[in-house]
Chains A and B, each alone.
Chain A
Amino acid sequence: MIGSVVIVGASLAGMNAAHTLRRDGFDGTITVIDADPNTPYDRPPLSKQVLAGVWDVDRIILPAAREDLGIDYRLGRRAMGLDRIDRFVRLDGGERIGYDGLVIATGAAARWLPGAPMLEGVHVLRTLDDCLVLREQLDEQPERVVVIGAGFIGAEVAAVCRGRGIEVTLLEAAAAPLERALGSEMGMVMAGLHRDHGVDLRLGVGVDGLEGTDRVAAVRLSDGSRIEASVVLVGIGVSPNTGWVEGSGLNVDNGIVTDETLAAAPGVVAAGDIARWPSARYGELLRVEHWETAIQMGEAAARRLLADHDETEPVTFDPVPWFWSDQYDVKIQLAGRSGAGDDVEVVIGTTDERRFVALYGRAGRVVGVLGMNRPRHVMQLRSLLTEPTEWAEGLARARKLA
């Protein structure tokens, strides 16, 4: 029996875990801890509508945080340590919060440019406070913003800046933007999108350093060039927030490693960006930073705790990952997992009109479905991923929808 659940991380995953516990009838105490003092919020709009200034902050409060779930919130409090023997989480200030069941959902933190000084005007974008500080700077209409890293955060921020009429230089060390997620061919379609919107996109170039005394003045590139800018966004990925559980005996390796049911140890589950689980579907440990995966994991992790409580059989977690991104007037959606070296074939529409669906194939199977402004077809073609589908058959089925 469990009488108390502690959820560390008022994140999408953490709050969905709380919601699921209550929906499934758990009536014990739920404590939610987060270092972020803000009412739990949704992150995707931070690099889109909130940064663009078209949405108020109220609009991104998570649905679960609007409900009366009888949660004891400890917001603005940082979890500092975990004692699995006596089953408690230690907070900053030394307070101990005991648990029968623990959900670890502390997510990830934006990576800082290695060796870069802490200059004013240099930003990362992960939290609401990050977003509001950057938004204030954009409100001042700087002459140029340099975005380091053309991943999804960098690409979305570049798009928001252009929407505000601000000049942008977008830097990427790889040969194409979004290359890790989309591969080089589709990455270059994204390159065309950004260039058509007036982004100064530079590929295959690294950052040598930042210049400035108090405030950033310029970015020095590995090709010897120098770009003047008073605002710089560093968007080079995230690192899982695992520091506070070190020494607890949990398996920490680029995240919290769980079993296929998201259990990290007896009475301990992990969910969201921090969790790394063995996927039978993909035959490897996955750590997925997608919005929908966080929702699914929050639910699954809560049910995993309840399975112990109710003595029912735990369920294996193995969804097909899916995410979306909005840039300019293009909605990008990718279901599945694509990688460098996959076959890519456009099956509906054309890349020129930026309204198309492409399939990714590997080892004779369909592994990914990419859509630009084709949400209907992406959803319909997810079925090619839920059951193993031969490449030729997948192409034929997709083309029939055109």
Chain B
Amino acid sequence: MRVVVDFDLCESNAICMGIAPEIFEVRDDDFLYILNETPPEELRAKLEEAVQRCPKQAISIAEE
């Protein structure tokens, strides 16, 4: 699976970072960075939670 963030929607609320700090990081410049674009399967539950909880619906999962 691959993490997809629509950066036109992202507002750096940092919810995703709270849920999955292994994947998401909002840095000092207040921009979101994806630390691991293809996270291992064991992070799927966390990633799905981040998708659900993003206030801007900016995160999705691409299966490939």
Chain B 7-30: CB-based contact to A (< 8 A → 1; otherwise 0) = 000011111011000000011101
Known: A333-B13, A375-B12, A376-B30. 20 other contacts (CB 8 A): A16-B52, A19-B52, A44-B55, A292-B15, A292-B55, A295-B52, A295-B53, A324-B13, A331-B11, A331-B13, A373-B30, A375-B13, A375-B26, A376-B12, A376-B14, A376-B28, A379-B15, A379-B17, A379-B26, A382-B18
Q: Which of A374-393 contact B (CB under 8 A)?
A: 375-376, 378-379, 382
Give the number of residue pairs across the A-B interface with Cβ within 8 Å: 38
Q: How far is the CB of B58 from chain A (nearest CB, A)?
A: 11
Show 25 residue pairs from A and B whose CB-CB distance is below 8 angstroms, ordered by the A residue.
A19-B52, A291-B55, A292-B15, A292-B53, A292-B55, A295-B52, A295-B53, A324-B13, A326-B11, A331-B11, A331-B12, A331-B13, A375-B12, A375-B13, A375-B26, A375-B30, A376-B12, A376-B14, A376-B17, A376-B26, A376-B28, A376-B30, A379-B15, A379-B17, A382-B18
Give the residue name and chain of the A residue nearest to B17 (CB).
Answer: A379
A63, CB-defined interface residue at 8 Å: yes
Residue B57 interfacial (CB < 8 Å)? yes
Query: What bracket does the count of chain B residues touching chain A fall in?
Result: 10 to 19
How many angstroms from the CA of A382 to the CA of B53 in the assembled complex?
16
Q: Give bound CA distance, A16 to B27, whole Å.
A: 30
* Whole-angstrom CA separation of A333 from B13 in the bound complex: 9
- Residue of B12, B27, B28, B55 contacting most chain A CB atoms (<10 Å): B55
Cα of A295 to Cα of B53 in the assembled complex, Å: 7
- Nearest chain B residue, comparing its CB with the CB of A371: B14
Residues of A within 8 A of B28 (CB): 376
- Decide: A324 and B18 in contact? CB cutoff 8 A: no
Q: Which residue of A lies closest to B29 (CB)?
A: A376
Report the bound CA distance from A295 to B52 in whole Å. 8
B19 nearest in chain A by CB position = A379
Given A63-B52, A295-B52, A373-B30, check contact A378 B14 (CB 8 Å): yes
How many whole Å from B57's CB to the nearest CB in chain A? 6
CB pair A379 B14 closer than 8 Å: yes
Which residues of chain A from 315 to 344 have any CB-CB distance to chain B below 8 Å in the complex? Answer: 324, 326, 331, 333
Contacting residues, chain A, for B27 (C-beta < 8 A): 376
A322 to chain B, nearest CB (A): 8
Which residues of the other chain, A, contact B11 by a CB distance below 8 angstroms?
326, 331
A16 to B51, CA, bound (A): 13
Could you tell me the distance in whole angstroms from the C-beta of B22 to the nearest C-beta in chain A? 14
Shortest CB-to-CB span from A326 to chain B, Å, is 8
Question: Shortest 9 CB-CB distances between A and B: which pairs?
Answer: A375-B14, A379-B14, A376-B26, A379-B18, A375-B12, A379-B17, A376-B14, A375-B13, A375-B26
In the assembly, what is the distance between CA of A63 and CA of B54, in Å? 11
Chain B residues with CB under 8 Å of A16's CB are 52
Interface residues of A in 355-402 (CB under 8 A from B): 373, 375-376, 378-379, 382
Contact with A along B34-63 (1 / 0, CB 8 A): 000000000000000000110101000000
- Chain A min CB distance to B61 (Å): 12
Q: Nearest chain-A residue to B28 (Cβ)?
A: A376
Min CB distance, A92 to chain B, in Å? 32
Residues of B within 8 A of A292 (CB): 15, 53, 55
Considering the complex, give the chain B residue whose CB is closest to the CB of A298: B52
